[in-house]
């Protein structure tokens, strides 16, 4: 079943719609209710042609935004030398994609963070002149020093906070491990930045740590990816900046109301990527909590909500959860985005009804398991547990094939030899390119939607 | 609907059930004049199968020798003596200028070929075979005789805003408790309505979370002023999308159609046939509508429901159905046998009909209650069944969904459950029958309409 409606309208803010897919029927004594909640934002006024020709996009037409570009300038960026050059070119391409009027800054990151442009603790406002000046400033970028990503993020946060804008976003590029600060330092930096700006993270080459990059993107509600070949950076940076320029509304939270006696077992984003949100709940009044979703352009995401309700008698019906979207505002109030979806529970003695699994729930349960199987399989492989790794990656091959996740299947095939995809029988490849293994790990959380 | 097998049972006296021999003109036991029972017509009537009472003419209507021979104080009215009133009891509007009659005024000729009482006609294009009184041209025409009120909900009082489940939470706009989340009673959970002499009650039952049954009752007058009462009962098909919408649309469309057609002089059996078609169109139209926000599903199918209806006019009882909702006849004189007047469009009925299983085997199968006919866009082929009966005595007509007849399957069981004063207090009778189903377990939605059938006017049944 599906339910929900959108009726929110305001200039420059997309209309949100909430659709709920679930089997609401429970057997006698049944308590667990699963639902896939699809949130779709449309009509926010994002103009594709304006993105393709940003110089024609006059100030004030898009939402006010500020962007910080954080470029790794540690010593390793000079090996090979093309890496630094590609990073400069990619940053220049991203600057060219900035819409006129958008505030921006370029930060050079080593064991410390340094403002490259415009400097002085300020943000520049994008126009032809500032874009040219920024690109000129990139020429001074040189490699040398260590890596302390937490310092980059804290500087970006301070700079982004100087502008009174709707959207704050970072783009972070690193080529190495976060060796010059403790994991706790990075964690603390992420905690202090979470909710203040969103950030995409990219690892270039193969000498960086996947869990660091994905952890940054996860904490700051952005995307993570690998750019194994530095030559691919410019295109990737352009795409990232286009997406950032398409964001219309920031700090949207999924609000979940549940009745008394109900336990939220988990809330996770399941499309376009798997993102666990259960532990990121902020209490929002009686029996309600907010889960952060970051900023939105015209896009659609799916969430898997699982709650445990008190058992009720046959023929009873109850509301197991009410899903809505809000933007928290200073002072504790919220802006309600109007759309809402109802997750219901109905107890029946019709076994055919209560035992069927909603196709969306089944699909995303499989996609979440796929992501977990890949991560566990690769961890076991690194730990030398060949049998364990083979079993987990075999299961991943099976799930990827059954669900039609072709991209992930392709990545898996570079790490294992598939004997029988349907049965999940695989052999670990004796020799695996590091880039292939890192790509699989970085992209393991990418999901596909239900086949129609 | 497939043909039911002809009953091979020995013919019995309609009055005392004494077995008869061919060629008998009077019953050897009671002296009943068997010439009153006409020969079986050739139009392959289907028989009401309730096994217990096999009879040569299908439902074995007890035919009275004399219309006043039972000592019942049944009212004997000539149709024209009854002033038509609306459901509020007010006089009907004066008739407008005459219009051409829509029913053939061929009563005397038709009466001469009158088939046996109890014969069902599945061919609605031959209604003129019935000995109906010819429409009076002065009274023919459309007028505001139809009086139908949509089934009013018997919902909770408007002031009730506290959750019925936890008694603590407020009830929010979408009908759920803000504290415990429990759904609040909905207006369709329990519905009751009276219209003239007819009454209906519908209840969610004890095991289902919503009521997917619906009904429509009303009364009107024929062109000659004779009263006509109408009841339609529909049962939404749960495996289809929006079954509750389907039953509501079908019952309303069929009720409206009948209450529009009867005052125009359309033969009640033709009107019933047309009403089923109108209901079918109404349900089909639901499939074209954009799904409501609440019920939109990625793989939905067309809404569907059953339909059963009855029309009672002076001396004539017309039933119509598609699916497994039923009509029972329960005579006021409980010493005479009751009867089921409809034949389910169900898997079991078809198996029995095709001779593939006996009744016991067929109804023991888990597929027994799968229906083989319904209203809805995905029905293979709509086969509306209609039948006319001319009971010779007073009684009450029970129109119900399987939520009731599952707890009173045979005609005898149903008669047992119907209170003796059901004709006089139909609403009370319908409540009692719903209570019977709930006491039995209330596994399904329960809906029943009761239409009193007055003793027919003297002489109306014979030509």
Q: Which residue has the higher pLDDT, B115 or B282?
A: B282
How many CB atoms are closer than 10 A to CB A132?
11
Q: What is the pLDDT at residue B172?
A: 87
**Of residues A66, A139, A63, the one with CA closest to residue A108:** A139
Q: In this model, does residue B31 exceed pLDDT 60? A: no
Q: pLDDT grade, residue B313 (50/70/90)?
A: very high
* Residue at which a domain ends, from A325, A355, A385: A355
Q: In this model, does residue B175 exceed pLDDT 60? A: yes
Tokens of B181: 């989340």
Contacts of A365 (CB under 8 A, 6+ apart): A34, A304
Alpha-carbon gap, residue A268 to A341, rounded angstroms:
16
Q: Which of B209, B210, B369 to mutate to test the interface with A (most CBs of A within 10 A)?
A: B209
Q: Check A260 against B181: CB less than 8 A apart.
A: yes
**Range of weakest confidence among A78-87, A291-300, B1-10, B245-254:** B1-10
Q: pLDDT grade, residue B107 (50/70/90)?
A: very low
Q: In this model, does residue B359 exceed pLDDT 60? A: yes
**Range of weakest confidence among B49-53, B149-153, B157-161, B304-308:** B49-53
How many CB atoms are closer than 10 A to CB A257?
22
Tokens of A320: 């197991």
Q: Identify the closest residue of chain B to A6 by CA–CA distance.
A: B293
Give me the interface pTM, i.e. the ipTM: 0.77
Name the minimum distance, in Å, from the CA of A216 to any CA of chain B: 36
Q: In this model, does residue A123 exceed pLDDT 60? A: yes
Q: What is the pLDDT at residue B184?
A: 87
Buried b (16+ CB within 10 A) or exposed e, B339-359: bbbbbbbbbbbbbbbeeebee
Largest CA distance in chain B: 77
How many angstroms from the chain centroid is the CA of residue A50?
24
Alpha-carbon gap, residue B239 to B53, rounded angstroms:
34
* Residue at which a domain ends, from A299, A334, A355: A355
Q: In this model, does residue A442 exceed pLDDT 50? A: yes
Q: In this model, does residue A50 exceed pLDDT 70? A: no
pLDDT digits (tens, 9 = 90+) for A327-384: 988 777 888 998 999 999 999 988 888 998 999 999 999 999 999 999 999 999 999 9
Chain B contact present for A28, CB below 8 A: no
Q: What is the pLDDT at residue B156?
A: 44
pLDDT digits (tens, 9 = 90+) for A231-285: 899 999 999 999 999 999 999 999 999 999 999 999 999 999 999 999 999 999 8
Collect all residues of chain A within an 8 Å Cβ-Cβ radius of residue B180: 259-261, 318
Closest Cβ–Cβ partner in B174, B182, B296 for A342: B174
Closest Cβ–Cβ partner in B180, B207, B293 for A5: B293
Q: What is the rounded average pLDDT of the residues A8-22?
A: 75
A131 falls within a domain: yes
Q: In this model, does residue A59 exceed pLDDT 50? A: no
Q: What is the rounded average pLDDT of the residues B161-179?
A: 87
Collect all residues of chain A within an 8 Å Cβ-Cβ radius of residue B294: 3, 342
Chain A contact present for B207, CB below 8 A: yes
Q: Check B294 against A3: CB less than 8 A apart.
A: yes
Q: How far, in Å, are A109, A231, A234, A409 from residue A227 at the CA level?
A: 18, 8, 10, 19
**Of residues A272, A269, A265, the one with CA closest to residue A243:** A272
**Opening angle at CA A44, ends A42 and A49, nearest 5:** 105
**Opening angle at CA A253, ends A247 and A254, nearest 5:** 120
Chain B contact present for A114, CB below 8 A: no
Alpha-carbon gap, residue A41 to B263, rounded angstroms:
55
Tokens of B77: 């009215």
Residues A96 and A206 in one domain: yes
Residues A424 and A323 in one domain: no
The three state secondary structure string of A147-168 is CCHHHHHHHHHHHHCCCCCCEE
- Look at residue B258 and give its three-state secondary structure: helix
Q: What is the pLDDT at residue B58?
A: 42
Placement of tokens 């009855």 in the chain: B310
Among the ranges A23-32, A47-56, B133-142, which has the highest mean pLDDT value? A23-32
pTM: 0.70
Residues A268 and A223 in one domain: no
Q: pLDDT grade, residue B367 (50/70/90)?
A: confident
Q: How far, in Å, are A33, B294, B330 from residue A309 at the CA level?
A: 7, 21, 47
Q: Check B179 against A259: CB less than 8 A apart.
A: yes
A347 falls within a domain: yes
Q: Check A350 against B206: CB less than 8 A apart.
A: no
Q: pLDDT grade, residue A75 (50/70/90)?
A: very high
- Look at residue B71 and give its three-state secondary structure: coil
Q: pLDDT grade, residue A126 (50/70/90)?
A: very high
Q: What is the rounded average pLDDT of the residues B52-77?
A: 41
Q: In this model, does residue A46 exceed pLDDT 50? A: no
**Opening angle at CA A265, ends A263 and A268, nearest 5:** 135
Collect all residues of chain A within an 8 Å Cβ-Cβ radius of residue B169: 260
Residues A365 and A307 in one domain: no
CATH number, domain at A412?
Answer: 1.20.120.1690
Q: Which residue has the higher pLDDT, A452 or B438?
A: B438
Residues A239 and A308 in one domain: no
Buried b (16+ CB within 10 A) or exposed e, A377-403: bbebbeeeeeeebbbbbbbbbbbbbeb
Q: Which of residues 209-268 of A touch B (CB under 8 A)?
A: 258-262
Q: Identify the closest residue of chain B to A360 by CA–CA distance.
A: B298
For chain A, the average pLDDT equals 90
Q: What is the rounded average pLDDT of the residues B16-29?
A: 57
Q: What order of strands is seen across the sheet that includes strand A25-26? A: A25-26, A334-347, A317-328, A249-257, A288-296, A282-283
Alpha-carbon gap, residue A200 to A69, rounded angstroms:
10
For chain B, the average pLDDT equals 73
Collect all residues of chain A within an 8 Å Cβ-Cβ radius of residue B165: 318
Q: In this model, does residue B135 exceed pLDDT 50? A: no
Alpha-carbon gap, residue A71 to A94, rounded angstroms:
12
A409 falls within a domain: yes
Closest Cβ–Cβ partner in A1, A3, A259 for B181: A259
Name the minimum distance, in Å, from the CA of A90 to any CA of chain B: 43
Collect all residues of chain B within an 8 Å Cβ-Cβ radius of residue A19: 296
Chain B contact present for A360, CB below 8 A: yes
Q: What is the pLDDT at residue B173?
A: 84
B308: phi then psi, degrees, rounded to nearest 5 = -140, 140
**Range of weakest confidence among B148-152, B251-255, B374-378:** B148-152
| Integer Rg of chain B from CA | 22
Q: How far, in Å, are B141, B222, B318 from residue B102 at the CA level?
A: 9, 12, 18
- Classify residue B313 as exposed, middle or buried by CB count within 10 Å of its CB (0-12, 13-18, 19+): buried
Q: Which residue has the higher pLDDT, B300 or A148?
A: A148
Collect all residues of chain B within an 8 Å Cβ-Cβ radius of residue A315: 204-209
Q: In this model, does residue A7 exceed pLDDT 50? A: no
Q: Check B176 against A360: CB less than 8 A apart.
A: no
Name the minimum distance, in Å, from the CA of A315 to any CA of chain B: 4
pLDDT digits (tens, 9 = 90+) for A208-222: 999 999 999 999 999
**Of residues A394, A350, A347, A346, the one with CA closest to residue A370:** A394
DSSP for A369-422, written as a single string: HHHHHHHHHHHHHHTT-HHHHHHHHHHHHHHHHHHT-HHHHHHHTTTEEEEETT
Q: In this model, does residue A421 exceed pLDDT 80? A: yes
Domain at B73-152+187-289+300-453, CATH homologous superfamily: PPM-type phosphatase domain (3.60.40.10)
**Range of weakest confidence among A244-248, A249-253, B200-204, B289-293:** B289-293
* Residue at which a domain ends, from A304, A338, A355: A355
Q: In this model, does residue B10 exceed pLDDT 90? A: no
Chain A contact present for B294, CB below 8 A: yes
Q: What is the pLDDT at residue B145?
A: 40
Residues A170 and A278 in one domain: no
Q: Which residue has the higher pLDDT, A224 or B137?
A: A224
Q: pLDDT grade, residue B426 (50/70/90)?
A: very high
Handedness of CA A93, A94, A97, A103 (dihedral sign): negative
Closest Cβ–Cβ partner in A309, A315, A319 for B209: A315
A162: phi then psi, degrees, rounded to nearest 5 = -75, -15
Q: Check A2 against B297: CB less than 8 A apart.
A: yes
Q: In this model, does residue A174 exceed pLDDT 50? A: yes
Domain count, chain A: 3
Contacts of B291 (CB under 8 A, 6+ apart): B241, B242, B297, B300
Residues A88 and A135 in one domain: yes
Q: Are A32 and A265 in contact (CB under 8 A)?
A: yes
**Of residues B189, B204, B179, the one with CA closest to residue A310:** B179
A3 falls within a domain: no
Q: Are B114 and B153 in contact (CB under 8 A)?
A: no
Closest Cβ–Cβ partner in A4, A258, A348 for B293: A4
Q: How far, in Å, are B238, B240, B246 from residue A350 at the CA level?
A: 10, 14, 21
Chain B contact present for A346, CB below 8 A: yes
Name the minimum distance, in Å, from the CA of A306 to any CA of chain B: 16
Residues A181 and A275 in one domain: no
Chain A contact present for B301, CB below 8 A: no
Residues A216 and A262 in one domain: no
Q: In this model, does residue B144 exceed pLDDT 50? A: no
A5 falls within a domain: no
How many CB atoms are closer than 10 A to CB A172?
26
Q: Check B205 against A359: CB less than 8 A apart.
A: no
Q: How far, in Å, are A309, A341, A352, A431, B209 from residue A344 at the CA level?
A: 10, 10, 18, 50, 12
Q: Identify the closest residue of chain B to A346 by CA–CA distance.
A: B209
Q: Are B132 and B316 in contact (CB under 8 A)?
A: yes
Name the minimum distance, in Å, from the CA of B209 to any CA of chain A: 4
Q: What is the pLDDT at residue B57?
A: 41
Total beta-carbon pairs less than 8 A apart between chain A and chain B: 72
Q: Check B177 against A309: CB less than 8 A apart.
A: no
Q: What is the pLDDT at residue B164?
A: 83
Q: What is the pLDDT at residue A397?
A: 97
Residues A332 and A378 in one domain: no
Residue A38 is inside which H or E element, if any? strand A32-42
Closest Cβ–Cβ partner in B176, B177, B208 for A315: B208
Collect all residues of chain B within an 8 Å Cβ-Cβ radius of residue A5: 293
Q: Domain range holding A275?
A: 15-45+249-355
Q: What is the pLDDT at residue A154?
A: 98
Residues A116 and A181 in one domain: yes
Q: What is the pLDDT at residue B162?
A: 86
Q: What is the pLDDT at residue B429?
A: 96
A378 falls within a domain: yes
Q: pLDDT grade, residue B15 (50/70/90)?
A: low
CATH number, domain at A263?
Answer: 2.60.40.3670
Residues A267 and A377 in one domain: no
Among the ranges A240-244, B120-124, B159-163, which has the highest mean pLDDT value? A240-244
Q: In this model, does residue B23 exceed pLDDT 70? A: no
Buried b (16+ CB within 10 A) or exposed e, A114-123: bbbbbeeeeb
Strand partners, B346: B371
Q: Are B415 and B353 in contact (CB under 8 A)?
A: no
- Domain residue limits, chain B: 73-152+187-289+300-453
Chain B contact present for A30, CB below 8 A: no
CATH number, domain at A233?
Answer: 3.40.50.410
Q: What percent of chain A clears pLDDT 90, i.e. is strictly above it?
A: 81
A447 falls within a domain: no
A341 falls within a domain: yes
């Amino acid at each position: 079943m599906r339910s929900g409606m959108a009726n929110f309208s305001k200039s420059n803010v997309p209309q949100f719609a909430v659709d709920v897919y679930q089997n609401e029927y429970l057997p006698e004594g049944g308590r667990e209710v699963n639902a896939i909640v699809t949130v779709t934002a449309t009509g926010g006024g994002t103009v594709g042609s304006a993105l393709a020709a940003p110089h024609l996009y006059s100030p004030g037409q898009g939402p006010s935004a500020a962007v910080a570009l954080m470029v790794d300038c540690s010593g390793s960026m000079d090996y090979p030398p093309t890496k630094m050059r590609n990073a400069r070119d990619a940053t220049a391409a991203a600057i060219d994609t900035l819409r006129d009027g958008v505030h921006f800054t370029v930060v050079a990151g080593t064991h410390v963070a340094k403002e490259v442009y415009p400097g002085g603790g300020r943000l520049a406002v994008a126009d032809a002149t500032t874009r040219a000046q920024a690109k000129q400033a990139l020429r001074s970028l040189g490699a040398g020093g260590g890596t302390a990503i937490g310092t980059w993020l804290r500087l970006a946060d301070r700079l982004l906070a100087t502008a009174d804008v709707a959207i704050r976003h970072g783009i972070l590029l690193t080529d190495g491990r976060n060796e010059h600060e403790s994991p706790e330092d990075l964690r603390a930096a992420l905690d202090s930045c979470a909710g203040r700006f969103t950030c995409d993270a990219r690892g270039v080459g193969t000498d960086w740590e996947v869990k660091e990059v994905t952890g940054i993107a996860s904490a700051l509600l952005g995307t993570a990816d690998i750019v194994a070949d530095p030559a691919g950076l410019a295109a990737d940076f352009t795409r990232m900046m286009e997406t950032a320029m398409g964001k219309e509304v920031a700090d949207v939270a999924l609000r979940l109301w549940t009745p008394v006696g109900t336990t939220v077992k988990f809330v996770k984003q399941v499309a376009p990527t798997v993102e666990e949100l259960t532990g990121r709940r902020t209490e929002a009044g009686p029996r309600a909590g907010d889960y952060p979703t970051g900023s939105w352009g015209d896009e659609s995401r799916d969430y898997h909500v699982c709650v445990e309700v008190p058992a009720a008698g046959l023929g009873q019906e109850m509301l197991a959860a009410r899903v809505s979207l809000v933007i928290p505002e200073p002072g504790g109030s919220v802006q309600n985005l109007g759309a809402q979806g109802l997750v219901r529970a109905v107890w029946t003695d019709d076994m055919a009804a209560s035992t069927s699994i909603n196709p969306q729930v089944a699909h995303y349960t499989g996609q979440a398991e796929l992501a977990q199987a890949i991560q566990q399989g690769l961890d076991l492989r690194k730990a030398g547990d060949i049998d364990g790794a083979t079993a987990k990656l075999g299961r991943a091959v099976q799930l990827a094939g059954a669900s039609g996740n072709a991209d992930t299947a392709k990545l898996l095939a570079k790490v294992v030899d598939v004997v029988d995809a349907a049965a999940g029988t695989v052999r670990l490849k004796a020799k695996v390119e590091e880039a292939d293994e890192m790509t699989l790990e970085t992209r393991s959380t990418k999901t596909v939607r239900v086949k129609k | 609907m497939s043909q039911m097998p002809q009953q091979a049972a020995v013919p019995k006296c309609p009055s005392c059930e004494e077995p008869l021999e061919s060629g008998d003109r009077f019953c050897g036991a009671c002296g009943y004049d068997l010439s009153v029972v006409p020969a079986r017509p050739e139009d392959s009537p289907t028989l009401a199968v309730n096994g217990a009472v096999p009879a040569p003419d299908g439902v074995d209507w007890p035919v009275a020798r004399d219309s006043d021979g039972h000592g019942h104080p049944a009212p004997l009215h000539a149709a024209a003596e009854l002033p038509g009133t609306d459901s509020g009891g007010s006089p009907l509007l004066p008739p407008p200028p005459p219009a051409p009659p829509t029913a053939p005024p061929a009563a005397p000729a038709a009466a001469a070929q009158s088939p046996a009482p109890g014969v069902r006609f599945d061919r609605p294009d031959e209604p003129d075979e019935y000995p109906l009184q010819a429409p009076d041209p002065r009274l023919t025409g459309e007028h505001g005789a139809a009086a139908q009120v949509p089934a009013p909900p018997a919902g909770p009082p408007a002031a009730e805003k506290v959750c019925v489940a936890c008694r603590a939470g407020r009830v929010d706009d979408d009908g759920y408790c803000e504290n415990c989340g429990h759904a609040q009673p909905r207006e369709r959970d329990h519905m009751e309505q009276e219209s003239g002499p007819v009454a209906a009650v519908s209840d969610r039952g004890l095991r289902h979370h919503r009521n997917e049954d619906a009904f429509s009752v009303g009364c009107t007058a024929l062109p000659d002023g004779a009263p006509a009462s109408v009841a339609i009962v529909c049962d939404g098909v749960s495996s289809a999308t929006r079954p509750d919408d389907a039953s509501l649309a079908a019952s309303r469309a069929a009720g409206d159609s009948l209450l529009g057609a009867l005052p125009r002089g359309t033969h009640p059996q033709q009107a019933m046939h047309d009403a089923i078609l109108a209901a079918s169109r109404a349900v089909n139209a639901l499939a074209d509508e954009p799904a409501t926000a609440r019920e939109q599903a990625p793989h939905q199918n067309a809404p569907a429901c059953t339909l059963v209806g009855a029309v009672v006019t002076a001396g004539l009882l017309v039933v119509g159905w598609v699916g497994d909702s039923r009509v029972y006849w329960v005579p006021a004189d409980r010493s005479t046998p009751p009867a089921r007047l409809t034949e389910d469009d169900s898997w079991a009925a078809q198996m029995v009909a095709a001779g593939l299983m006996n009744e016991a085997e067929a109804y023991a199968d888990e597929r027994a209650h799968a229906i083989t006919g319904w209203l809805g866009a995905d029905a293979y082929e709509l086969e509306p069944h209609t039948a006319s009966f001319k009971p010779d005595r007073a009684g009450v007509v029970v129109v119900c969904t399987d939520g009731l007849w599952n707890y009173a399957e045979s005609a005898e069981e149903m008669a047992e459950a119907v209170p003796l004063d059901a004709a006089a207090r139909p609403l009370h009778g319908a409540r009692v029958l719903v209570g019977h189903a709930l006491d039995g377990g209330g596994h399904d939605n329960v809906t029943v309409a009761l239409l009193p059938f007055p003793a027919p006017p003297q002489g109306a049944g014979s030509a």
